[in-house]
Structure 1
Amino acid sequence: MARPTIRDLATAAGVSPSTVNRVLAGSDKVREPTMQRVLDAARDIGFYGVGAIRSRVDAARPRDRFVVLLQQPGRQFYEAVAEHLRQAASAYEGRDIDLVLEFMNDLSPDRIADRMLDLGPRADALAVVTAEHPVVSAAIDRLTAMGTPVLALISPLTAQTSIGFVGLDSWKVGRTVGWFFENICREPGKIGVLVGSHRYRNQDMQESGFRSYLREHESGFTVLEPLPTFESTAIAREMTERLLTDHPDMAGLYVCGGGITGALAAIRGMGRSGTLRVIGYDLMDSTRGGLLDGTLTVVLAHPFARMARETLDSMVRMKTSDGTGGAESVLLSFDIYTRENI
């Protein structure tokens, strides 16, 4: 059989022969989708120059360097976030994304801000999970002034300059938790609350939405003062044991923040599995096990795959907006799990 010609390739790709010649010559006047169509057609017909065309397409593809600062390596939640971000970056069409993921052990605002300022100038955009704090806000303003847009991930942040956000509607999450307690508890009683830190705006809004729902509906529940876990499994276990000791008649526990593995261990250790209504976040090995053995009643979960894609989409928009926009809030719907649907 005769070797496919440039005219054959043009016909297969639905373009003109001159367009194929421009692709082969590496012209920057051909749009990337058109180049990709020519490459696909070249593969289909066995065109001899497929390697050269692939090189031209790769060279024309936009390249991005995105930095994402996550928390505490080894935590199932952040490991899941990282894995879905890696998958989304690898599968992202039309762009070559160099994704830099860094886990932070030291969650102090000063350390987070320092790391943002160290990595940010070498990135096209930076996403971060951190608590609200003036030094973090100042770092966001400095990075924005230097031309690096910043995206708040999971927990919203504020600054004088524009900052994007990808995460759940925390107010709606909290009110949904209130609805669940009203409907799953056999009768009103005390509800304990664990928070990681009130400086995490998502947790603060979740607790506020939760209390708002119970006040509005005059449900008769008594919400105890929240106890901080500082995102620590050990502290969450200690705080849960304190709640169950001080309030043996407690009807429910709302784990609004990190440390749920410790809370579940305390509940099991004190023999309250199945008698205490417990609501927490995100479907992981630990929470799945809690649902299956009855220690955990309901899980509200981030949609990891969609969150990862929306994070990268937002960072692309922020990079390509040239300061004219792109810093927007993307509120994700959340998944709900019980032992019957996992």
Structure 2
Amino acid sequence: MANRPTIKDVAAAAGVSATTVDRAINGRMAVRKDTLQKIVDAAHRVGYHGKGSLMNQLAENKPRCRLGVVLVKRSQEFYQNFAKEIEAAMATQHHVRGEVVIRYAASQSPDDFATELRALGNTVDAIACVAINHQKLDEVVQELKDKGVPVVALLNDTAQGIRKYYIGLNNMKVGRSAAWLLTHTISKPGKLAVFVGGNRWHGHDLREVGFRSYIRAEAPSFTVLDTLVNLETRKVTYEATLDLLHRHPDLTGIYVAGGGMEGAIAALRESRRAGEVSLIVNELTHESRAALADGYVQMVNVTPLPELCSELVKLVTETFDEASEGVPGQRFLEPRVILPEMI
């Protein structure tokens, strides 16, 4: 095939001789591990298709890294995409024998999260989880830490002071940005509603605090109604939104700080003209994209999943590759803000 990469191309990219590459591929003589890694990396870069034997040789000396992941809402598009991005990110780590084991909590109860975390703790090297905040989970994360299994909190900062790392958005900022957009695009001040998934989602609480603090300081002519808990479900959000619209005809904006946006979108489509009540939601899915196009959603805050998953896998694999505990802390990612004109 024309322009198909050759051994010489791999050698040039790796900075070694073609003879060394030939020895590595055919196993005629031993090749140092660091040199073999350079050749494998170069083979990936140039698209050399005969790298299978190289990978097999290198795999024998690679450290293993088995990452367990606990997610929720198996049927939701966002979490399906999340799982795919984690697996894709691990596949790029050629310096370890990486494997991802993904489990889904059956519900948002602390017992269900604890069950999945404990089960994974017996079989993996590290765990990443999207979980609620609860004392039971603090205990489980401490158990895992004592066993040498570090836990990385994703999206919601679970087990603060015990978990190894947090990767997600700055939720206070996310809430403030939602308040800014609503108050700058609604022509006449009125009432605003906020939905959170539940009081055990620390990230949702922070978004609500950011939202309310902005309104108090920068837009006091708006009134924020009592916060509603929707359990991140479509049905609860749908029914609560219809009730809000009935009880508050002067409602001008809704912020869904967690999941369940599909219910708010459906209720507005049934009861109001597009744009009559401004709506801000999270994550770009088929439904939120359609609502943006139709004018029922004014902004979508999107978690940069590829960046988040790359950061997670890099953290875990480098920690084990260096045989160290890594650096505890947190990483705030910048959300993508999607407006109707951007789709």
What TM-score comes out, normalization by structure 1 length? 0.87
Matched, 1:259 2:256: no
2:195/2:230 contact within 8 Å kept: yes
CA distance in 2, matches of 1:171, 1:217: 15
Equivalent residue, structure 2, for 1:286: 287
Decide which moves more: 267-276 or 182-191.
267-276
2:33/2:58 contact within 8 Å kept: no
Task: Label 1:88 to 1:40 Cα distance change in 2 as closer, same or farther (>3 A).
Answer: closer
2:194/2:224 contact within 8 Å kept: yes
Amino acid at match of 1:190: K
Shift, 1:89, TM fit: 2.0
Task: Label 1:51 to 1:183 Cα distance change in 2 as closer, same or farther (>3 A).
Answer: closer
CA distance in 2, matches of 1:81, 1:55: 29
Decide which moves more: 134-143 or 157-166.
157-166
Amino acid at match of 2:119: D
Task: Label 1:43 to 1:281 Cα distance change in 2 as closer, same or farther (>3 A).
Answer: closer
Task: Label 1:319 to 1:204 Cα distance change in 2 as closer, same or farther (>3 A).
Answer: farther
CA distance in 1, matches of 2:185, 2:250: 16
Equivalent residue, structure 2, for 1:33: 37
Identity of aligned residues (%): 29
Aligned ranges 1:66-77 → 2 under 5 Å: 66-77=67-78
What secondary structure, in the 3-state scheme, does the structure 2 residue paired with 1:267 have?
helix
Shift, 1:39, TM fit: 6.2
2:282/2:300 contact within 8 Å kept: yes
Amino acid at match of 1:286: E
Shift, 1:248, TM fit: 1.1
2:11/2:39 contact within 8 Å kept: no
Task: Label 1:140 to 1:32 Cα distance change in 2 as closer, same or farther (>3 A).
Answer: farther
What secondary structure, in the 3-state scheme, does the structure 2 residue paired with 1:251 have?
strand
Decide which moves more: 165-174 or 34-43.
34-43
What per-residue deviation string (whole Å, max 9, x for no partner) do you get for residues 145-175 of structure 1?
A: 1010101011111244342111111111111
Equivalent residue, structure 2, for 1:124: 125
Amino acid at match of 2:100: L
Shift, 1:272, TM fit: 4.3
What per-residue deviation string (whole Å, max 9, x for no partner) do you get for residues 277-308 of structure 1?
A: 11111111010011111111111111121112
Equivalent residue, structure 1, for 2:276: 275
Equivalent residue, structure 2, for 1:143: 144
1:150/1:164 contact within 8 Å kept: yes
Task: Label 1:36 to 1:221 Cα distance change in 2 as closer, same or farther (>3 A).
Answer: same
CA distance in 2, matches of 1:41, 1:78: 30
CA distance in 2, matches of 1:275, 1:20: 68
Equivalent residue, structure 2, for 1:64: 65
CA distance in 1, matches of 2:182, 2:216: 13
1:10/1:20 contact within 8 Å kept: no
Aligned ranges 1:185-204 → 2 under 5 Å: 185-204=186-205
CA distance in 1, matches of 2:45, 2:240: 63
Task: Label 1:236 to 1:10 Cα distance change in 2 as closer, same or farther (>3 A).
Answer: closer
CA distance in 1, matches of 2:272, 2:34: 68
Matched, 1:302 2:303: yes
Decide which moves more: 53-62 or 131-140.
53-62
Shift, 1:216, TM fit: 1.5
CA distance in 2, matches of 1:52, 1:87: 22
Task: Label 1:239 to 1:90 Cα distance change in 2 as closer, same or farther (>3 A).
Answer: same
Quote the RMSD (CA, aligned, Å).
3.0
**Count of aligned positions:** 334
Decide which moves more: 256-265 or 83-92.
83-92
Equivalent residue, structure 2, for 1:3: none
Unaligned segments of structure 1, at least 5 residues: 1-5
What per-residue deviation string (whole Å, max 9, x for no partner) do you get for residues 29-48 of structure 1?
A: 5455335268679997x99x
Matched, 1:173 2:177: no
Amino acid at match of 1:250: L
CA distance in 1, matches of 2:15, 2:167: 39
What secondary structure, in the 3-state scheme, does the structure 1 residue paired with 2:326 have?
coil
Aligned ranges 1:210-221 → 2 under 5 Å: 210-221=211-222
CA distance in 2, matches of 1:301, 1:170: 12
What secondary structure, in the 3-state scheme, does the structure 1 residue paired with 2:236 have?
helix
Task: Label 1:321 to 1:114 Cα distance change in 2 as closer, same or farther (>3 A).
Answer: farther
Unaligned segments of structure 2, at least 5 residues: 1-6
Equivalent residue, structure 2, for 1:106: 107
CA distance in 2, matches of 1:290, 1:21: 58
Task: Label 1:279 to 1:41 Cα distance change in 2 as closer, same or farther (>3 A).
Answer: closer
What TM-score comes out, normalization by structure 2 length? 0.87
Task: Label 1:240 to 1:59 Cα distance change in 2 as closer, same or farther (>3 A).
Answer: same
